[in-house]
Amino acid sequence: MSATRGLCMRTMMELDQSCSNLREYGSEQSLLSKPDGTSTFVQGDTSILAGVYGPAEVKVSKEIYDRATVEVLIQPKMGLPGVRERAREQCVRETCEAALLLTLHPRSSVTVVLQVVHDDGSLLSCCLNAACMALMDAGLPMSHLFCSVTCAISKEGQIITDPTARQEKESRALLTFAIDSAESSVLMSSTTGSFSVQELQQCIAISQKASEQIFQFYRDSVKRRYSKIK
């Protein structure tokens, strides 16, 4: 670990091992009839249902004169939304604002509603992926797509991608990154726990590699959806 060469080799091995360690994921679009765009995203056992309304009317107090206002609501499986949901909403909102072309719809609102159907770890990642698919389904103009990967660092220093709830509880650090499709750059990061700078960079590299799989999955799922119309 102290020698540079050892570190590089370990990173390469971890990249190879961890990339295939994303849990099984699946998605569906256009399920509900009322919202303008809907999608579900399932990662292992974690499942989120997203609905997008927009561009719609906005209250005068919330309107912005030159861009659309993005609102995100996360409803937990049980109980009322609390501070934890508000923090996640802010992460999702800022990522959506970076990806959407908001200046095309001034003085209107885009509302994203996320319902937690089941939580088994990597919740914020699943929320972001579901939000991206729902925004695509609604046909809102976006400059690029985004996806999200969670990494957990265990007490021994092993990096696990897409952890389950139990792996999250046993880890000493949890890092979530939102990666964009154009340049694979980090749009948003949300971390808890303690980790070193090298571990942070390793996690970012692993997330960027894993995001390629997810973007390819987006492409395949949209292709399947449009295959009937052709």
**What residues line the site for other proteins (CB under 8 A)?**
30, 36-37, 54-58, 99, 101, 104-109, 136, 138-145, 180-182, 218-219, 222-223, 226, 228-230
The reply to whether omega before 55 is within 30° of 0 (cis) is yes
Minimum CB distance to other proteins, residue 223 (Å): 5
The span from the CA of 115 to the CA of 98, in Å, is 22
Q: For the CB of residue 88, give the shortest distance to other proteins in the complex, in Å.
A: 23
Please identify, using beta-carbon distances, which residue of 166 and 223 lies nearer to other proteins: 223
What is the amino acid identity at position 76? P
Q: Which is nearer to other proteins, 24 or 183 (CB)?
A: 183
For other proteins, the closer CB: 96 or 152: 96
Nearest CB to other proteins, comparing residues 23 and 225: 225
Packing angle between helix 4-19 and helix 197-226, nearest 10 degrees? 30
**Residue closer to other proteins (CB basis): 155 or 230:** 230
Rounded Cα distance, 25 and 43, in Å: 4
Residue 227 CB, nearest distance to other proteins (Å)? Answer: 8
φ/ψ bin of 121: left (φ > 0), alpha (ψ from -120 to 50), beta (otherwise): left
Which residue type is seen at 44? G
- Tell me how far, at minimum, the Cβ of 202 lies from other proteins, in Å: 26
Greatest CA separation for the chain:
60
Smallest gap from residue 31 Cβ to other proteins (A): 13
Phi-psi region of 71 (alpha: psi -120 to 50; beta: other; left: phi over 0): beta
Q: Which residue matches tokens 């046993």?
A: 170
